[in-house]
Amino acid sequence: MLARHQEPIVAIATAPGRGAVGIVRVSGRGLSGLIQALCARPLKAREATYLPFRDQDGSAIDHGLAIHFPGPNSFTGEDVLELQAHGGPVVLQLLVTRCLQAAAETDAATGQPRLPGLRVAQPGEFSERAFLNDKIDLTQAEAIADLIDASTEAAARSASRSLAGDFSREIHTLRDALIHLRMLVEATLDFPEEEIDFLQKADAQGQLDRLEAHLATVLQRTRQGALLREGIRVVIAGQPNAGKSSLLNALAGAELAIVTPIAGTTRDVVQQTIQIEGVPLHVIDTAGLREGEGVDEVEQIGIERAWGQIEQADAVLFLHDLTRTTDNAYAASDAEIAQTLLQRLPQGVPVIDIWNKADAAPAPLVQEGITLSARTGEGLQALRQRLLHEAGWQSASEGLYIARERHVQALLRVGEHLNIAQQLLAAQAQSLDLLAEELRQSQNALNDITGEFSADDLLGVIFSSFCIGK
């Protein structure tokens, strides 16, 4: 543990701004001297006490509730003091300043500073302390940030399940099965002269098969959880006046983009996050794609930005105008855009053909893709379901937990090592040392998820995204 993790910390634990209640939190070891200075009395453990918070001269900074959580029975695993005051930013900052001041003052009884080294916490440092002191694992720590940042009800509920340990238990079950299989392989390596075939008798092949089957189930649920957290980027592309801005407005249910019959009205990127069955979709409207006369310098910049967004998309909605399907020049431009999409999009990014203005088309036309009217809403539900399908979303589950892309990648690494292990197990004695190594690598990938063996730089990235008071 780094030296800074031993230092006591203090921070405002509530969101910036004014509110009815604000919280200042202190975490460290041996807070009795600080508590005496701030509250002028000792506090009963885990019992809220209403009292004045004392300034250096004994006057009251504010009146509120003080709660002392002695370690290790606290969120961070250390002694924790929470001061619940009125939620004005000035009042809360005065309390933080007073905590720092009181910590440096000499205690009359000991002749030493009341809480040496007290400093303002860094982002996420309270949750980091909880992780380092084994109060939560890394997936639970990430779930705290995900719960705070949840943009949909489904994401919030799933983050709560992860915080309660649902995802961690799945990973631990996989890890325990791996450890048991590793034990069998290591035993065979350690006692090669034994007549008993440890692996065959213990059904090592069956254990590995069941492990892979369980991994597939966990991976599928983890992908769903990552999708619930991250969502997908959906870019609307097409020629001018195909109805791209109208489609964005229809999906969002609000007039976000300006809609006019003038070609080139949209000249910059307009983005809105919507949700479908709890899945966030980041829908991006772009400038109409065209070349030739009538394209001024500003519109050209918008077109270049449009292609930049398209190249970063998880899915592209290629919008066509049904009222112009008989126009040869229009059809030729659409074909040219389609060819460019094939060249510039990464492999595997779906392009969904959307035939807009069904309400204004001269006659019903059957086209490959989805036919809709952004103006009337006809066909929008089919588009929403298609987007969920392309994203890989399945029906929402009550037991779904939140996850991140790094969790998905770690589980994919586990699968790769287990696949090699299957091949090595068939060779048995000739490759048991390699088999043992693949199983060890699989376990390491699982440990990366829960943080049991994690590099400090990974922890820094994760916890630096937290707010100060967490």
Q: Which residues are annotated as a binding site for K(+)?
A: 241, 260, 262, 265
- Report residue 48 CA to chain centroid gap: 34
CA nearest 378: which of 261, 250, 274?
Answer: 250
Q: Which residues are annotated as a binding site?
A: 25, 82, 135, 241-246, 260-266, 285-288, 356-359, 373-375, 470
Distances (CA, A) of 197 to 91, 201, 349, 429, 462: 72, 6, 49, 10, 45
**Given its phi and psi angles, is residue 113 left (phi above 0), alpha (psi -120 to 50 degrees) or beta?**
beta
| 3-state per-residue secondary structure call for 238-250 | ECCCCCHHHHHHH
Buried b (16+ CB within 10 A) or exposed e, 270-293: bbbebebebbbbbbbbbbbbbeee
Torsion angle of the four alpha carbons 104, 107, 111, 116, in this order, in degrees rounded to the nearest 10: -30
Exposure of 214 by Cβ count < 10 A (0-12 exposed, 13-18 middle, 19+ buried)?
A: middle
Q: Which residues are annotated as a binding site for GTP?
A: 241-246, 260-266, 285-288, 356-359, 373-375
Q: Which tokens in the block code for residue 294?
A: 């009538």
Dist. CA 129–CA 28, nearest whole Å: 10
Q: Which residues are annotated as a binding site for (6S)-5-formyl-5,6,7,8-tetrahydrofolate?
A: 25, 82, 135, 470
Dist. CA 54–CA 27, nearest whole Å: 19
CA nearest 28: which of 13, 8, 5?
Answer: 8
Dist. CA 33–CA 106, nearest whole Å: 9
Buried b (16+ CB within 10 A) or exposed e, 336-360: ebeeebeeebeeebbbbbbbbbbee
- The angle at the Cα of 417, spanning 413 to 419, to the nearest 5 degrees, equals 115
